[in-house]
Amino acid sequence: MLLSSNQPLIPQVCHTLTLTLTTSAHCLPVSNRPIMNWRFRATLQEYFTYQPKITLLSSFTHHYSQYLFFQVCDHLNLLEKDYFGLSFKDNTEQSCWLDPTKDIKRQIRNSQWQFVFSVKFYPPDPSQLTEDITRYLLCLQLRQDIASGRLPCSFVTHALLGSYTLQAELGDHDPEEHRLDYISDFQFAPNQTKELEEKVVELHKSHRGMTPAQADTQFLENAKKLSMYGVDLHHAKDSEGVDIMLGVCANGLLIYKDRLRINRFAWPKILKISYKRSNFYIKIRPGEAEQFESTVGFKLPNHRAAKRVWKVCVEHHTFFRLVSTEQPTKTKFLTLGSKFRYSGRTQAQTRQASSLIDRPTPYFQRTSSKRISRSLDGGIALHLLCLCVTGTLGLVSNGSMSSALLNETSLYEIPVHRLSLCGCSKLRVQGENIYVRHSNLMLEDLDKTQEDVLKHQASISELKRSFMEATPEPRPSQWDKRLTGSPATSLRLQAHGVRVLVLGIRTPPQTLRMPLSLCSAEKLVYSGCFLLHGSFKCGCVLSLSCSLARYFFKRALKCSETKSCQAAHNFDMASPTLTKTVGINAESRSCVAVRVLRLDGNGDGEPGVLMTAQTITSESLCTTTTTHITKTLKGGLSETRIEKRIVITGDSDIDHDQALAQAIKEAKEQHPDMSVTRVVVHKETELAEDED
Amino acid sequence: MAGLMSGFGCFTHAVVRAVPQSLARDALRSGGLEVDLLKVQEEYEEYVSVLKHRLGLEVLELPADEALPDCVFVEDAAVVCGDTALVSRPGAQSRRREAVKAALTELGLNIVEMTDESATLDGGDVLFTGREFFVGLSKRTNQRGAEILADAFKDYAVSTVPVQDALHLKSFCSMAGPGLIAIGSSEAAQKALKVFEKLKDHMLIPVTNQEKAKVDGGLTCCSVLINMKKNI
């Protein structure tokens, strides 16, 4: 279920602790939802500001886009959202809008998820916007447009708009406080001269008594008249190959050559727009004297650009001209080409909705980012117009994070000690080597025939070798990224704030198993993936929960199809062995943190009939062992399953090897007729948060 | 300028220039008709009187220069919008020295000079609607001139209109009110009309010309209108 933005972002704290080899005790959240932490970084050229962290919860990846956008809007306390959107740069450095109806992962394929919150539809009459805060955000966007040169203006206009900016942000001109250099923080024009600054100050003085909201309104009244206001430009060539610019705006399509507007097609004049290959076509209504429609074609640099222009036109036309968005007609036949339609509200609809807004004017501070450090104590500084959302896979932090707006401190603080993993590229696996030794240990202890052991060892070596031979993946692979967004397993295992290193050894199938389950993991999807790397390095075979295994297996298959990631390659190579262990195999049993899994229901592949259940707890100085014995009847076979949960607390000086070896030894002693089928070691480490 | 469009069509000053004697004989023309200098003088005085007394403009009268027979048509020498004046480079060689720069500087306007020698622009080809510029590409104004105008007035869109069989764009059209262009019925006008029709919401009304039409003068040719409302 998608969380509404009003719900607390982090579920309540978990009471139980199921960890081993921990260095300190933790409480884990109970949520069974995947959690992604998003870092927002405002980048508005010099308006670069702080990096709040907002945590999103969603069970469905295809809602991430929409949800993310809503989260940002909530953070900004913006209700009139329809004029804005999130954009990102694609592989070719072109700006694209994030489609709220589609999965984020499908749209952005870079490793860094950086989104910019900006104005998508510039309202032709900003005075009709209901809230001041909307106008303020529009002003911020325009200030950037002007400063970057995207919105050209005359000297006087630069000065005038600059003076309104000053009035809005600084209030009345104060000769004492405001010397000439007080405005050096601001950028009013791409090339700012002393003369311009002087003019700005002169005009600033004349606005005495104007409130910030009034100054913003005046700013917009002037800005909206600029010829390039709200014009989205695209490079193109006309039918004769001459370089032109295509401009899409609220009124229609504009054609520019050099600095001159050579043509204009108002929306009512345009009958149809289409694109084919790299060409973009518009069909024009015939004039009074003409009989037939005419078609004008433009050549775009490539197919993507043509499609982009087309999309922008569709969106602008729908937003500004239609009363409501049309529903795409369902056709029985295969429709070629894009069925893209603008999915948001039209201007008419948003205006209607806005008229229903009835809340007291939200308080917000207008400060340039450069002064943010000084103004952290008051309200939420709203220079966030362009936010950079960095999709990092953060961990669940425990403790509640209330609505972003209200609790500023919790928003900015990153509870470091609770977060084990910070981000895709920042993941550090510690204690990896430990497990290599453990695996060997386990191999030795197995009650196997020599032949089996050798065979198994051979396959392990093979795995090791294949992994070592493969080139290391320096950055998170496609698979990693895909997995990070996956709902299924993350649902269950991400909630725990602990890093997982799951490894184990599969013995030939037996009816009796004794898994030593020690803990469960967070962020399993991600770490699971890493695990695979790790495990190959260690030459260990994985034993995973049934559903998790299924998931990885599927993913591996998929990856191997695309041949795009290292992990898949390894996974595939190992698959003969892994399939037995991991695959869609009814015999694999879940062993991972029973307690956790229990919350989500039975992790087992199939239900058995529970016959008896027993729990024994024993404690020593620094360990607590909980043994859970269940006898179930499955398919005619009686299966006894013993799960031992051993929690060893202490500081990091614990010899984990020894502790684990000891635990295994004890377990074997207690149950000589059983064999160790699975060892799951979870180590929770506190990692220092990397600073961006 | 309290706003970009405040008071479109409202002006405070007018710059005019007296009629030189040489106009009758040496002024550029397309037709071959004889010109009655006295009548020209009368018309001019009436014109100035209307500007001064009926419209309440402050009229700055520049003296005639006999060496410049067309100097009465000051409109072609400069384009003023807001508080910026673009001192243009008239297309006709004989008119290059008709500088009104000094007078405009005196009025406190920002002066932009068209120094590019490949550019020509006659003010008579520039139609400002209050929202955008239309520049007629004629024998007197070229593309480069239009580009320089676009640079000078960055706030506004500048579109070009081809002008054939007429001297200037404003020979056959002018602004008759906000969002209202009056356009003539001549062939040249109709051709240009097609271009205007591509644009939205401009109403067009046909009108006729006057005596000065004999020397290809139109109503707008004879003045440079300036809005001096000092909100800045």
Interchain CB contact of B5 with A (< 8 Å): yes
Nearest Cα neighbor of B226 from B49, B146, B129, B107 is B107
> From the list B84, B135, B155, which residue is nearest A226 (CB)?
B155
B1 contacts on A by Cβ (under 8 Å):
156, 160
Residues forming a β-bridge with A632: A610, A639
Tell me which of A642 and A518 has the higher pLDDT: A642
- Indicate which CATH number applies to the domain containing B191: 3.75.10.10
- The pLDDT mean for chain A works out to 60
Note the pLDDT of residue B37: 87
**Residue A268: is its pLDDT beyond 90?**
no
Interchain CB contact of B197 with A (< 8 Å): yes
Note the pLDDT of residue B229: 58
A153 contacts on B by Cβ (under 8 Å):
154-155
In a domain? residue B222: yes
Residue type, A270: I
Q: Under a CB-based contact definition with an 8 Å cutoff, are residues B120 and B145 in contact? A: yes
Domain count, chain B: 1
Note the pLDDT of residue A650: 52
A227 contacts on B by Cβ (under 8 Å):
132, 155-157
* 8 Å CB contact of A264 and B158: no
Per-residue pLDDT tens digits for A285-339 = 877 667 888 899 999 999 989 999 999 999 999 899 887 776 555 554 555 566 6
* 8 Å CB contact of A225 and B143: no
From residue A236, give the alpha-carbon distance in Å to each of A93, A258, A310, A450.
17, 12, 13, 72
CA dihedral A439, A444, A448, A449 (to 10 degrees): 130
The 3 state secondary structure assigned to A147-159 is: HHCCCCCCHHHHH
- Most B-contacting residue of A158, A201, A227, A245 (CB-CB within 10 A), to test interface: A227
Q: Under a CB-based contact definition with an 8 Å cutoff, are residues A491 and A59 in contact? A: yes
Residues 152 through 171 of chain B touching chain A, CB cutoff 8 Å: 153-160
Residues 60 through 119 of chain B touching chain A, CB cutoff 8 Å: 82-84, 110
Tell me which of A512 and A127 has the higher pLDDT: A127
Mean pLDDT score, A148-167 = 92
Is B13 a known active-site residue?
A: no
In a domain? residue B7: no
Q: How far is B71 from chain A (nearest CA, A)?
A: 29
Note the pLDDT of residue A382: 35
Question: Hey, what are A343's tokens?
Answer: 């999915």
Note the pLDDT of residue A363: 75
Note the pLDDT of residue A91: 78
B154 contacts on A by Cβ (under 8 Å):
152-154, 157
* 8 Å CB contact of A266 and B156: no
Walk across the sheet containing B224-226 and list its strands.
B58-62, B13-17, B224-226
Weakest-pLDDT range from A425-439, A463-477, B185-199: A425-439
Note the pLDDT of residue B157: 87
Nearest CA in chain B to A200: B232
> From the list A203, A228, A264, which residue is nearest B199 (CB)?
A264
Note the pLDDT of residue A125: 93
Which of the residue ranges A4-13, A242-251, A260-269, A518-527 has the most confident prediction, judged by mean pLDDT?
A242-251
DSSP letters, A321-369, are H-SSPPPPPP-SSPPPS------S--HHHHHHHHHT---PPPP-B---G
Nearest Cα neighbor of A53 from A372, A415, A581 is A415
Strands A270-276 and A35-42 turn out to be unpaired
Nearest Cα neighbor of B131 from B97, B110, B154, B156 is B156
Residues whose CB falls within 8 Å of the CB of residue A576, separated by 6 or more in sequence, listed in order: A459
* 8 Å CB contact of B82 and A153: no
Tell me which of A75 and A250 has the higher pLDDT: A250
In a domain? residue B127: yes
Note the pLDDT of residue A159: 93
How many C-alpha atoms does B143 have within 13 Å on its Cβ side? 6
* Signed CA dihedral, A567, A573, A575, A581: sign only: negative
For the A232-327+339-355 domain, the top CATH level (class) is: mainly beta
pTM for the model stands at 0.56
DSSP letters, A482-534, are HHHT-SHHHHHHGGG---EEE---PPSP-S-BEEEE----SSHHHHHHHHHHH
Per-residue pLDDT tens digits for A84-114 = 998 888 777 788 888 888 777 777 776 667 7
Interchain CB contact of B134 with A (< 8 Å): no
Mean pLDDT score, A497-519 = 26
Q: What is the mean pLDDT of each run of 10 residues along chain B (232 residues)?
A: 52 89 82 83 91 90 87 89 89 84 88 91 91 90 93 89 86 83 82 71 48 59 64 43
> From the list B83, B132, B147, which residue is nearest A259 (CB)?
B147
Question: Hey, what are A455's tokens?
Answer: 């065979």
Walk across the sheet containing B84-87 and list its strands.
B78-81, B84-87, B110-113
In chain A, domain spans? 232-327+339-355, 589-600+609-684
Question: Hey, what are B78's tokens?
Answer: 């400069």
* 8 Å CB contact of A262 and B160: yes
Weakest-pLDDT range from A274-278, A403-407, A507-511, A625-629: A403-407
Of the pLDDT bands very low, low, confident and very high (cuts 50, 70, 90), residue A552 is: very low
Find the catalytic residue in B13, B71, B81, B168: B168
> From the list A156, A160, A258, which residue is nearest B147 (CB)?
A258
* 8 Å CB contact of A260 and B83: no
* 8 Å CB contact of A226 and B4: yes
- Most A-contacting residue of B111, B127, B155, B231 (CB-CB within 10 A), to test interface: B155
**Residue A176: is its pLDDT beyond 90?**
no
Chains A, B: CB pairs < 8 Å: 75
Per-residue pLDDT tens digits for A326-372 = 655 555 455 556 667 777 888 888 888 888 877 877 777 776 544 43
Residues of A within an 8 Å Cβ radius of B: 152-157, 160, 203, 221-222, 225-228, 251-252, 254, 258-266, 268-269, 287-289
Q: What is the ipTM of this complex?
A: 0.73
Is B53 a known active-site residue?
A: no
Instruction: Identify the domain containing residue B106 by its residue range.
Output: 13-226
Note the pLDDT of residue A337: 63
* 8 Å CB contact of A227 and B155: yes
Nearest CA in chain A to B4: A222
Q: In this structure, how many other beta carbons lie within 10 angstroms of the beta carbon of residue A238?
A: 17
* 8 Å CB contact of B155 and A221: no
Rounded to 5 degrees, what angle do the CA atoms A148, A149, A155 make? 120
Mean pLDDT score, A589-605 = 25
State the burial class of residue B230 (Cβ atoms within 10 Å of its Cβ: 0-12, 13-18, 19+): exposed
Note the pLDDT of residue A627: 74
Nearest CA in chain A to B146: A260
Note the pLDDT of residue A621: 64
Note the pLDDT of residue A450: 57
What is chain A's length? 692
CA distance A288 to B195: 12
Mean pLDDT score, A121-130 = 93
* 8 Å CB contact of B154 and A287: no
**Residue A517: is its pLDDT beyond 60?**
no
Tell me which of A218 and B31 has the higher pLDDT: A218
* 8 Å CB contact of B5 and A287: no
CA distance A558 to A219: 53
* 8 Å CB contact of B200 and A264: yes
In a domain? residue B2: no
